[in-house]
Amino acid sequence: MNLKKLKKKVAFEVLKFIPLKEIIGIGTGSTISYFLKYLKKFKNKIKGAVSSSTKTTNILNEYGIKIFYLNNINFLPIYIDSADEINKNMEMIKGGGAALTREKIIASSAKKFICIVDETKIVNVLGKFPLPIEVIPMAYKYVTYELVKLGGIVEKRKNVLTDNNNYILDVKNLFISNPKSLEKKINNIPGVVSVGIFSKRKPDILLISKKNKIKTIFRK
């Protein structure tokens, strides 16, 4: 089964977790774009959505799904998103789509976070996927030096400005054996807006799309 089919399968499966007449938080990326196609057919069953990016907002607008701002609501029951890598402790790398900061904020605000991935995203150790870090433009050189000290090979993502008008640094060569400590360390570098390690806000439910089935894991 090809990657597209795996992504579509898990994007469809997650529909059964959607609470009726509620607002749902929605991530960014190709898996989420498939999910939104399915959600379009159910749009009258939900109240609306909180979007994590301009890309997702544009799709929601096109599909006629009402958008709510996080600051204007009191409760977000659920957030649905994918990941670039996830390990067996449900720690993740996110930010391939440059939306990590808003994704982290919405995931942290939601009561439940459901992550939908295809099986290629499962890893033993995080770090093969270059770690995305959102940085304030005037600080990117300084942050780069600090990341090199941590052993990283840093590349500024070309022609990308995030929805918050910042840059993305992609960091290779990090063998992330302790995601918690690295998330904290990188967050503490002045100029970093957020780091694509999600070790504090992990998914509550993980759906993994495999060739013959969808595996559902509930975090203990």
Least separation, in Å, of the C-beta of 21 and ligand 5RP?
Answer: 26
**Nearer to ligand 5RP (CB atom), residue 23 or residue 107:** 107
Select from 37-45, 99-107, 137-145, 157-165 the region that touches ligand 5RP (CB under 6 A).
99-107
Cβ contacts of residue 160 below 8 Å, gap of 6+? 98, 167, 168
Asked whether the beta carbons of 63 and 40 are under 8 A apart, the reply is: yes
Asked whether the beta carbons of 97 and 170 are under 8 A apart, the reply is: no
Of 50, 87, 97, 133, which lies in the binding site for ligand 5RP, with binding defined by CB under 6 A? 97
As given in the structure block, the two tokens for residue 219 are: 């975090």
116 phi, psi to nearest 5 deg: -120, 120
**Nearer to ligand 5RP (CB atom), residue 30 or residue 109:** 30
**Nearer to ligand 5RP (CB atom), residue 30 or residue 173:** 30
152 phi, psi to nearest 5 deg: -85, 150
By CB under 6 A, how many residues form the interface with ligand 5RP? 17
Of 6, 46, 81, 174, which lies in the binding site for ligand 5RP, with binding defined by CB under 6 A? 81
What is the signed CA dihedral for 92, 93, 99, 104, rounded to 10 degrees?
Answer: 40
Binding track, positions 148-187, relative to ligand 5RP; x by CB under 6 A:
----------------------------------------
Residue type, 143: V
Select from 96-104, 161-169, 175-183, 211-219 the region that touches ligand 5RP (CB under 6 A).
96-104
Helix (H) or strand (E) holding 194: strand 192-195
Is 103 one of the annotated active-site residues of the chain?
yes
Q: Is 136 helix (H, G, I), strand (E, B) or coil?
A: coil
84 binds ligand 5RP, rule: CB under 6 A: yes
Choice among 13, 85, 91, 103 that is catalytic: 103
Cβ contacts of residue 62 below 8 Å, gap of 6+? none
Least separation, in Å, of the C-beta of 122 and ligand 5RP?
Answer: 13
Cβ contacts of residue 155 below 8 Å, gap of 6+? 130, 169, 170, 171, 172
Binding track, positions 21-40, relative to ligand 5RP; x by CB under 6 A:
------xxxxx---------
**Nearer to ligand 5RP (CB atom), residue 23 or residue 121:** 121
Residue type, 125: V
**Looking at the annotation, which residues are catalytic?**
103
Residues forming contacts to ligand 5RP in the complex (CB under 6 A) are 27-31, 81-84, 94-100, 103
